[in-house]
Amino acid sequence: MKSDVGFDFFNRKIQNQHLLSDINVSKDGLYAAFTVKSPIKSSNETETNVWLSFKKSMPAPLSRLSENHSISLPRWSPSGDQLAVAMQGHVSSGYTSIGIYSAPLFNFKEIATIPGSIEDLFWMPENLSILALVAETGSDSVVTSGSQRSASLEDIDLPVTTRIDSGKRHLCEINFDSKEPYFFGPKQGTIWEFENFDENSIAAIWSNDVTESGWYDSSVVFVDRHSGDIKTFYKPSWQISSITKNPLKNQIALVEGWASDRGTVCGEIKVIEIASGEVLTIKSFGVDVSKVRWRSRDSVWFTGWQNLSGAWGWVKIDGEVGELHLDDLQASSTNFQSSPENTVLDQAIWSISAPREFESPEIIVGASGSKLTQWKRISKFGLENQEKVPNFKTDLLRWSSSDGRKIEGLLVYDPNSRTQLSPLVIYIHGGPASLWTYSLRPEVLLLLSEGYAVLLPNPRGSVGRGQEFARANLGDASGAEVADIILGIAECAKYIAIDESKVSVVGGSYGGYLAACAATMTDQIRCAVVMYGHPNLLSARFGSNNPAFYDKLMKGAPTLANSHEYLMRSPLMRVSSSSAPTLILHGKEDRCCPVSQAEEFYRALIDKGVSSELIIFPGEGHGLHGSLAKSECWVQILSWLDKHSDTVNV
């Protein structure tokens, strides 16, 4: 590694990388609460607290009740004078508490302690009770949080028993009079999301299979609040999320589309008429929608992606677009409110920024009703000192793939060195139903500081360009999507001088799979880095916690008759003595892509005499979330790239 300045800045960024989420605004609009997850310096641990802004002022954290608890999921009461939160022990005890702050928000009382982990809270009308979505001990966290199995401290050294109903999620109501949690359902299966429908039932996204795999085949159901019985109302063709009830009509809206992971659905808006069961698809308006909320009787707010930009606005259910804005924001984070009286006024829009200049995400406030939104930054979580950011330029590239399909990507480079030969790193995103945007990650800056140019391709399978494009790689894993990426090299050469003999590829998760494909199925890669990937599709399908993902990716579950198709598209089976030298990095506790995937690929490489190293991070799940793990990961990556690319720092 040649640039201490670049790595110092990278370390400072990840040590100061706050994860902002769960913006919740009080009914009168005076208060906004949100969750902040922050790294604890010099450790792999994090701490979580709720922060509060009054009248769009600089936010401050709520007073911590205990240093041993993480506080999250802020939810304002319908009256707007109480704030409910969930409190989880740093070292899980297998229980979560619910507490309420009452106006003026320094009065606090704990109302219940519940076995399991609370994933959502919802105030019932009249401020008399709260609904909680509770995941039992033994459930897996969502992939964006590491995809790790939860375990209580008392059980951590005991044998783990898995049964067909292990780790289910169910609904619990806490009445303020009795304060006793009442678990009412579902009788079978698991709840992934919910919305109160009426005094007798809950509308929910539900699957009979309680594992992460079950989510891929979820349905919309009504759960009886008294008996826990399930009534299926809508069985979608694809994955669903963001269920929301129209407060003025007997309708439900949601997002439906192909999604590779829970929590990342992008697609079309569906409106379900409860009385008739009719399902209306709002005609496409150029946005892969990720979140929807009712705005008025006949219109909905939305956020999502259009090409490489975050998009938000509102659309009538007949398809007429009222507002469509393209802004640098995190698409699923925006907070909207409905108008109960169907009189829609311009309102404040709270969101989280996705800045382009390697700055940290911040809480921002804008307003609907204007052609150009003027965003005001409310928070200041980023670093004070940004002067050490190297000079860089980002160009949007477009090129034709092997079948003529147009592919887009971003080329990030030092404009002062565009005429000098630069080693190129292709950095492939995961998913595959994800995307690169203009909001660049800190590791891209690190690569720039080391003298690399970086290509961020969005091959077929990425979101932001409609569902046909997002589904274009289904049934063709390792096929045209690899050509999409490799053909981007020649396009880069039109913008900067690159040494095409020194092209490296880096990828994580599905991007790790594609990096392994490039290393074993093409001859244009000098070296590769595979982070928490799944290079053996057949064993990954049976060893992961989400086999349904592979069934949908491959358009069918493996059988004796078709298992060869899984193997032919597995880079593990394509390793030869001419495969590119490969560094493999993986979290030991990863349930989405088990660590055995890394071990299998390493064995296949060394069996063929290919230079390879395997690094396993204890305690880490999918994505290597700890700041120390991230730092060490990129130390090893840079060392590997430098070793095989002979870079010259410029």
Condensed to tens digits (0 to 9), the pLDDT of residues 258-290 reads 999 999 999 999 999 999 999 999 999 999 999
Question: Which of 417-455 are b and which e, b meaning 16 or more Cβ less than 10 Å from the residue's Cβ?
Answer: beeeebbbbbbbbbbbbbbbbbbbbbbbbbbbbbbbbbb
Section 48-59 average pLDDT = 93
Q: For residue 148, give every residue at least 6 positions away whose Cβ sits within 8 Å of its Cβ, in sequence order, or none.
A: 140, 141, 589, 590, 591, 621, 622
Question: What are the backbone dihedrals phi and psi of residue 168, each rounded to the nearest 5 degrees, phi first?
Answer: -70, 165
Is the pLDDT at 647 greater than 50, yes or no?
no
pLDDT greater at residue 15 or residue 634: 634
Q: Which of 526, 627, 547, 529 is nearest to 594 (CA)?
A: 547
Is the pLDDT at 1 greater than 60, yes or no?
no
Q: How confident is the model at residue 148 (pLDDT cuts 50, 70, 90)?
A: confident
Which residues lie across from 396 on neighbouring strands?
A: 410
pLDDT-wise least confident of 176-190, 201-215, 544-558: 176-190
Q: At what angle do helices 442-449 and 627-645 cross, to 10 degrees?
A: 30
Q: How far apart are CA 611 and CA 576, in angstroms?
A: 11
Section 474-484 average pLDDT = 97
Q: How far is CA 41 from CA 15, 18, 38, 56, 459, in A?
A: 6, 12, 9, 29, 36
Report which DSSP code applies to 282. Answer: P
Percent of the chain with pLDDT over 90: 70
pLDDT greater at residue 187 or residue 93: 187
Q: Which two tokens stand for residue 527?
A: 């070296």
pTM of the full predicted structure?
A: 0.94
Q: How confident is the model at residue 157 (pLDDT cuts 50, 70, 90)?
A: confident
Considering only CA atoms, give the Rg of the chain.
24
Q: How far apart are CA 454 and CA 281, in angstroms?
A: 39
Q: How far apart are CA 218 and CA 584, in angstroms?
A: 34
Q: For residue 115, give every residue at least 6 positions away whose Cβ sits within 8 Å of its Cβ, in sequence order, or none.
A: 94, 95, 134, 136, 137
pLDDT for the residue numbered 330: 87
Q: Is the dihedral of CA 118, 120, 124, 126 positive or negative?
A: positive
pLDDT-wise least confident of 343-347, 404-408, 610-614: 343-347
Q: How confident is the model at residue 64 (pLDDT cuts 50, 70, 90)?
A: low
Contact status, residue 82 vs residue 33, Cβ threshold 8 Å: no
pLDDT-wise least confident of 173-182, 238-247, 536-545, 559-568: 173-182
Average per-residue pLDDT for the chain: 90
Q: How far apart are CA 341 and CA 598, in angstroms?
A: 56
Amino acid making up residue 556: G
Q: How confident is the model at residue 294 (pLDDT cuts 50, 70, 90)?
A: very high
pLDDT tens-digit map of 425-472: 999 999 999 999 999 999 999 999 999 999 999 999 999 999 999 999
Query: Measured in whole angstroms, how far is the alpha carbon of residue 130 from the centre of its chain?
Result: 27
Q: How far apart are CA 482 and CA 498, in angstroms?
A: 20
DSSP 353-419: B--SSSPPP-EEEEESSSSS---EE----S-S--TTPPP-EEEEEEEE-TTS-EEEEEEEE-GGGTT
Q: Which helix (H) or strand (E) holds 588?
A: none
Q: Which of 144, 93, 97 is nearest to 118 (CA)?
A: 97
Helices (H), 59-101: none
Q: How far is CA 389 from CA 226, 360, 412, in A?
A: 58, 13, 13
Q: What's the distance, Cα to Cα, between the start and end of the chain in Å?
A: 13
Place of tokens 């007429």: 320
Q: How far is CA 428 from CA 306, 329, 504, 513, 625, in A?
A: 19, 21, 11, 9, 18
Query: Measured in whole angstroms, how far is the alpha carbon of residue 256 from the centre of its chain?
Result: 16
Q: How far apart are CA 52 and CA 59, in angstroms?
A: 5
Amino acid making up residue 548: A
Section 598-617 average pLDDT = 98
| HSE, side-chain direction, 13 A CA sphere, residue 247 | 13
pLDDT greater at residue 538 or residue 154: 538
Section 115-142 average pLDDT = 90
Q: How far apart are CA 410 and CA 525, in angstroms?
A: 19
Q: How far apart are CA 144 and CA 154, in angstroms?
A: 26
Domains (ranges, CATH) in the chain?
62-145+164-235 (2.130.10.10), 393-645 (3.40.50.1820)
For strands 46-54 and 31-39, give the pairing. antiparallel
**Best-predicted range by mean pLDDT among 337-346, 363-372, 631-640?**
631-640
Contact status, residue 554 vs residue 567, Cβ threshold 8 Å: no
Q: How confident is the model at residue 153 (pLDDT cuts 50, 70, 90)?
A: low
Tally the residues of the chain.
650
pLDDT for the residue numbered 348: 86
Cis peptide before 432 (omega within 30 of 0): yes
Is the pLDDT at 649 greater than 50, yes or no?
no
pLDDT greater at residue 195 or residue 417: 195
Q: How far apart are CA 236 and CA 281, in angstroms?
A: 12
Q: Which two tokens stand for residue 168?
A: 């289910």
pLDDT-wise least confident of 103-112, 511-520, 535-544, 554-563: 103-112
pLDDT greater at residue 417 or residue 401: 401
Is the pLDDT at 385 greater than 60, yes or no?
no
Place of tokens 């809508």: 234
